[in-house]
Amino acid sequence: MRTTTTPLTGRTRVRHVPLARRLFLLQLVLIVAVCAVLSVTSYLSARDSARDAAADRVLSIAETLAHDPFVAEAVAGPDPSAALQPFAQTVIDTAEVDFVTIMDSDRTRYTHPDPTEIGKPYIGSIGTALTGQSEVEEYVGTLGPSVRAIAPIMDASGEVTAMVAVGVTLETISLTHAAALPQILIVAAAAIALGGLGAWILSRYLKRVTLGYGPEQLKRLFAFYDSALHSLREGLILVDDRARLVLYNDEAAALLDLPRPADGEPVPLAEVALPASIRALLESGRVAVDETHLTADRVLVISQKAATGPEARAAGQEGAEASGTVVTLRDRTDFEELTGELETMRTLSEALRAQTHEHANRLHTVSNLIELGRLDDALEFAVRDEQESQRLTDTFVDSLDEPFITALMIGKAAQAHERGIELTVTATGELPAGSLDARDLVTVAGNLLDNALDAAADSPERHVWADFVAADGELIITIADSGTGIDPAEIDTIFRLGTTEKSAPVAAGGRGFGLALVRQAVARLGGDLRIESDGGAIFTVTLPLTPDTRGGEGTDDK
């Protein structure tokens, strides 16, 4: 790792050496060191082996000569040197040794490679040979350091009469061993080359998988990314190309009810309890931008894209070398709850607007009749209108006695009348106070009636039926219309957030979200929703009437 000074700022900037390059250099140094040690060890071992082989060879030659009858007879003759010197020289040439010295028991040489040394005392150890035993030693003689063997020559009575010394100088052994040095060097060079090639290939792989970062950078990036991962307010999931959860943060675990994230082996998606739509999205690996998905109690906005490295992104190759997908999740539950409340208020306001418009028309009619002096007709018209409104009000007050539903039905009746649609409303049973959340109830009934009115508006019969039955601890709401009905294959599709059959663009809180909000409200209330098609669409909602704290709001509003 090197440092440089930036000219403009004068500050020291650290230049990081990539991890791949560090490992390559470290491995190369290690390979060279290991090969050098092995080469030296091999050389020394071969040298020792050569010395041992030379010692065995000279010992064998010395003992052979000591037992040669010719040598035994010559040392006992009147002129041993004259007979033995040519013989010894022949042995030196044929046996490839440096000297063969035959001597008397008092060290006097009979033979020597240098004739001037004949008659002079032998330089070396002879104590073991005088006892009748052979020996091998390294000794510095007239020819320099050598490995030599001394064997005794004995007569018939076993007396040592002479000795034979055969030796090879260390220089000769070194020259012989030096011939093997090139082979050792070639093997070492080949090992270094192959090891270096392997280290280079490994370094290229590491450079690719570590993106050229150094250890310090990787450590810092891991610390930053791990902190960012677990501190994000959005859910983050990493899925590999084998449809396995590799990593997810705390927020994702909370949003999808996953076990706490832990370092370990990837978990297959099949082993994780996920909503069907979210599981299908993660398994598909397709690109998704701000898709809305429902869980049991949450509304999640999910985006998904392929996981690519920074180099591919910089080159504009978003899908290059993708090894999985990155998924982000945002919780829109609170927003959708506000949207639901807004939808409820919109439904009520639309109903009240229609009712206000209807009353304005009727008041204008009464006013005109009075101005025309037709007082009896004006009185009869006003009484008949008041009786009709009171009849619809009494229907709910005498049965369900739910002010929000009563107000909604009165408004929807006016809205249906305004659009030229016949609305038939029936209600039976008794709705316990506080048994259902008023906002969810209005969301369910209001959105279903809105869709039924829209469907009936395009039909020849133009009729909508709304039936409320409270019995056996349940409230059953049935909304039917005279429209074209719903294709059974499309039932699941129309309940997805943002799905609509209308030509108008879908907006947050609009009709495209209505049916999904209905399903979510029914789920919150612990109920059940069924769809049938018999000429027109029939929506049946069954809600349990178990009192709980959610009913307090409806009670307080009464």
Contacts of 36 (CB under 8 A, 6+ apart): 188
* Residue 353, domain CATH: 3.30.565.10
Contacts of 405 (CB under 8 A, 6+ apart): 396, 441, 442, 445, 468
Mean model confidence pLDDT for the chain: 76
More confident residue, 181 or 401: 181
**284 shares its domain with 346:** no
- pLDDT(315) > 90: no
pLDDT band for position 505 (50/70/90)? very low
- pLDDT(478) > 90: yes
- pLDDT(507) > 50: no
In this predicted model, what pLDDT tens digit does every residue of 10-68 receive, in sequence order? Answer: 444 445 666 667 777 777 788 888 888 887 877 777 777 778 888 888 899 888 888 88
**326 shares its domain with 344:** no
**136 shares its domain with 263:** no
pLDDT band for position 5 (50/70/90)? very low
Q: What is the mean pLDDT of residues 162-175?
A: 83
**294 shares its domain with 413:** no
| Assigned domain for 220 exists | no
**116 closest CA partner among 81, 161, 77, 65:** 81
- pLDDT(269) > 70: yes
Q: How far apart are CA 113 and CA 126, in angstroms?
A: 19
Amino acid identity at 140? V
**266 shares its domain with 287:** yes
| Assigned domain for 23 exists | no
| Assigned domain for 47 exists | yes
| Assigned domain for 103 exists | yes
**287 shares its domain with 342:** no
| Assigned domain for 359 exists | yes
* Residue 290, domain CATH: 3.30.450.20
Q: What is the mean pLDDT of residues 152-159?
A: 85
**162 shares its domain with 296:** no
Q: What is the mean pLDDT of residues 288-314?
A: 74
**360 shares its domain with 271:** no
- Residue ranges making up the domain that contains 83: 40-178
**513 closest CA partner among 279, 343, 397:** 343
Cβ pair 515, 499 in contact under 8 A: yes
Cβ pair 241, 266 in contact under 8 A: no
pLDDT at 217: 67
Mean pLDDT lowest among 35-49, 140-154, 344-358: 344-358
**151 shares its domain with 293:** no
pLDDT at 479: 93
| Assigned domain for 16 exists | no
Q: What is the mean pLDDT of residues 481-504?
A: 63
More confident residue, 491 or 322: 491
pLDDT at 551: 39
Structure tokens that stand for 202 in this block: 């490994």
- CA 122 to chain CA mean position, Å: 82
pLDDT over 90, % of the chain: 4
Number of domains in the chain: 3
pLDDT at 150: 92
- H helix or E strand, kind and range, residue 21: helix 19-66
Q: How far apart are CA 445 and CA 527, in angstroms?
A: 13
**489 shares its domain with 452:** yes
